[in-house]
């Protein structure tokens, strides 16, 4: 409609302009033609007005087309964004489901680990308690053993002392018996020979040597041998008296 009005206005305007040019040509050719102002001015002004009106009416149509095109473009973009949004929602849902599954599995695994750790801790506590009891038993046994060892040591000391006393008495009795035994001629000769040579260390028959001034020196009247030095007596297998 706007295009038709613009075309009519354009034709009217062109007719008015053509009529004016034609009148000027006729006037220049000195051909008298009557110029009709009632025809020229309405065509010129009316055509111009119709042209402007059609142009003004045509602009909104173009704007509407552009707006429609823009709306169509925006609608297409919106639909595309909607599809992308739906795809993202599906992806988000799948990721959320996978995360929830992993979380539940991790929680289940942690619960199992905690249960195992609790059992291990309980077993360790029981073992520790048992070890403490065994340790107490060992301490008690150790104390008993220490007491027994002390008793045995005291008994051992007593036995050693009794043994030493018995050996001393036995040695004294043996020396006394030897000293009181009758002497033979050979022994007297050996004693005389040893004394004449300055060898005054007596060797008794029980394997003990006696030096001058010792306890049993004078009591040993029948020595088995006479020695000039302690080294000779030791070399011959004799030992010193215990007292």
Q: What is the layout of strands, in order, in the sheet containing 225-227? A: 209-210, 201-203, 225-227
Helices 2-28 and 37-180, packing angle to 10 deg? 140
Rounded Cα distance between 132 and 140, Å, is 12
- How does pLDDT run along the chain (243 residues), one tens digit per residue? 667 777 887 888 888 888 778 878 887 777 666 767 777 788 788 888 887 887 777 655 566 677 788 888 998 999 999 999 999 999 999 999 999 999 988 988 888 889 889 899 989 999 988 898 998 888 888 888 888 888 888 887 888 777 777 776 666 666 665 555 444 444 444 444 444 456 889 999 889 999 998 888 988 888 999 999 999 999 999 998 876
**Chain position carrying tokens 């249960």:** 115
| Beta partners for residue 226, in sequence order | 202
Strand partners, 208: 239
All residues at 6 or more sequence positions from 53 whose CB lies less than 8 Å from its CB, including other chains: 5, 6, 9
Domain positions in the chain are: 2-83, 153-235
pTM for the full model? 0.28
């Amino acid at each position: 409609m706007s295009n038709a009005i613009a075309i009519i206005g354009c034709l009217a305007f062109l007719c008015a302009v053509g009529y004016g040019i034609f009148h000027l040509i006729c006037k220049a050719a000195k051909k008298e033609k009557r110029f009709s102002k009632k025809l020229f001015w309405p065509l010129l002004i009316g055509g111009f007005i119709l042209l402007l009106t059609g142009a003004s009416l045509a602009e909104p149509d173009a704007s509407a087309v552009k707006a429609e095109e823009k709306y169509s473009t925006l609608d297409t973009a919106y639909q595309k964004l909607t599809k992308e949004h739906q795809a993202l929602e599906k992806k988000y849902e799948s990721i959320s489901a996978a995360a929830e599954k992993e979380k539940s599995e991790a929680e289940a695994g942690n619960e199992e680990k905690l249960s195992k750790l609790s059992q291990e801790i309980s077993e360790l506590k029981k073992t520790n308690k048992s070890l403490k009891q065994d340790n107490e038993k060992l301490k008690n046994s150790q104390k008993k053993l220490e007491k027994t060892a002390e008793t045995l040591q005291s008994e051992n000391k007593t036995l050693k002392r009794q043994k030493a006393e018995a050996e001393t008495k036995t040695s004294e009795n043996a020396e006394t018996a030897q000293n009181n035994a009758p002497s033979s001629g050979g022994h007297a000769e050996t004693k005389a020979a040893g004394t004449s040579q300055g060898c005054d260390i007596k060797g008794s028959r029980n394997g003990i040597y006696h030096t001058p001034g010792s306890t049993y020196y004078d009591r040993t009247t029948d020595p088995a041998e006479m020695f000039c030095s302690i080294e000779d007596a030791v070399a011959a297998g004799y030992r010193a008296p215990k007292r």
